[in-house]
Amino acid sequence: MRFGIFLLIAALAACSTAAGGAGSADAPLPFPVERGSALPPPGEAAPAQSVPPEGAGPGGIDFGQWRNADPATYAPAFQTQIRTRFAGQDAAAIRADLERNGFTCNQSGRLDCRIEIMERQCAVDWYVVVERGQPVAGFDRMCLGAR
């Protein structure tokens, strides 16, 4: 009887060691740990961008009727407008023009400019990226909940 209790205790100890080994501090983690590298939540990093107008803005880019636009048709039309507008221009001139039109730009190897807003329950994003001298533009809308 004592031997049976001893075996039961030994088996439980072995199980708890095996289970604890997977979650122990010495076990490798399935994801890389880069503490402090996460992006801050929206709204804390920078002030909210202003909502672009429907139609031509004061900087000259025509945002069209974006509130009711289908992204599948609006995005290619926006890209065509951007490529035509910035044909043959360098990244510095493109950046200055986009910033006049309400875009926020970053440049680290490539020029990346965006307008990101919340409109009702939808995140709306216009972007222009310049790689190898060629602007690529897009538009996206992602809404929460069913419509």
3-state secondary structure the chain: CHHHHHHHHHHHHHHHHHHHHHHCCCCCCCCCCCCCCCCCCCCCCCCCCCCCCCCECCCCCECCCHHHCCHHHHHHHHHHHHHHHCCCCCHHHHHHHHHHCCCEEEECCCEEEEEEEEECCEEEEEEEEEECCEEEEEEEEEECCCC
| Burial of 94 per CB tally in 10 Å (0-12, 13-18, 19+) | buried
What is residue 36's three-state secondary structure?
coil
Which amino acid belongs to residue 136? V
* Number of other residues whose CB lies within 10 A of the CB of residue 64: 18
Mean pLDDT of 36-49: 56
Mean pLDDT of 28-49: 58
> Is the pLDDT at 124 greater than 90, yes or no?
yes
6-34: pLDDT as tens digits: 556 766 666 555 544 445 556 666 666 66
- Tell me the chain's radius of gyration from C-alpha atoms: 26
The pLDDT of residue 38 is 60
61-114: pLDDT as tens digits: 999 999 988 999 999 999 999 999 999 999 999 999 999 999 999 988 899 999
The pLDDT of residue 45 is 46
Question: Among the listed ranges 57-61, 126-130, 136-140, which one has the minimum average pLDDT value?
Answer: 57-61
